Amino acid sequence: MDGERLDRVLAACVPELSRTRARVLLDIGGVFVDGRRVKVASRAVRTGQAIEAAVGGALTRATKELGRAARARDDAALPPFRVAFEDEDVVVVDKPAGLLAAPTAESDRGNLADLLARRPGAGRIWVVHRIDLHTSGLLVYARTAEANRVLAARFREHDVRREYVAVVAGAFPGDQARLDAPLGGRRAITHVAVEERFGDAATRIRCRLETGRTHQIRLHCMLAGHPVLGDPQHRTHPALPPPRLALHAEVLGFAHPRTGSAIEVRSPLPADLASWLERLRAAQR
């Protein structure tokens, strides 16, 4: 295959890819040659090169056409986000469920960091932390390298206030709990306070992160025997299923990376979860 076009090589070697799908994957940024993202379908490959294709949800969601118009249609289909706070150093965003927080190996487009950076006059955006695709709520991005350095250090030191609202399966025991179970070999602690009970069907809880590991709340609740309702990885079958993962990042607080002043931002529960909770309440009457 030395000298062959990249799209032809992908179609020949990756069972999931036709030549057309290979071109779309290249267009959205899901192909790497020797570790570098490549988007040129006609690029000739050479013996000894390592070619990687990240085939997943981004390709499934993408418009099956090429070019700027197709990618613009992809962007238009994304759920809208709200900027909750912004200055020259940071931007705090209320992310909807269904929108990626940052680029992945599958694509460098269609994520919140990319959309923020493409606003007129926005400049570069640094990803400080992430929340899951299926989770809604608050996260902060840096607008300068120094702000990114300071905020990243604060997140590593867990010097940030992060509170989530979750609805879990079953009757969560007691009114408060400290979930302490290592994740990925690293210390992980979640503080839980019960806010509302729906009989034996479900419990609304507030989760405060003492640490911030990947999928921490979802994994801790699952290990406690009360998985978050709507979790695609730990499926439950409630009588009234939620419209999506019942997890929302409601409170984000941190010291401003330049001035040191306290910043606390709150996000109301999104309408889809709020209306579902009303149905849960009605079912208990």
Q: Could you tell me the pTM of the whole model?
A: 0.87
* Number of Cβ within a 10 Å radius of residue 228: 28
Angle (CA) 212 95 88, round 5°: 85
C-alpha span between 100 and 78 (Å, rounded):
10
Q: Which residues are bridge partners to 127 per DSSP? A: 141
- CA-to-CA distance for 94 and 85, rounded, in angstroms? 9
The full set of domains in the chain, from first to last, is: 6-76 (3.10.290.10), 82-284 (3.30.2350.10)
One digit per residue, pLDDT tens: the chain, 285 residues? 999 999 999 999 999 899 999 999 999 999 999 999 999 999 999 999 999 999 988 888 888 888 889 888 888 889 999 999 999 999 999 999 999 999 888 888 889 999 999 999 889 999 999 999 999 999 999 999 999 999 999 999 999 999 999 999 999 999 999 999 999 999 999 999 999 999 999 999 999 999 989 999 999 999 999 999 999 887 778 889 999 999 999 999 999 999 999 999 999 999 999 999 999 999 887
Active site residue ranges: 132
Rounded Cα gap, residues 215 and 183, in angstroms: 9
Determine the pLDDT at residue 228. Answer: 96
> Which tokens go with 260?
């040191």
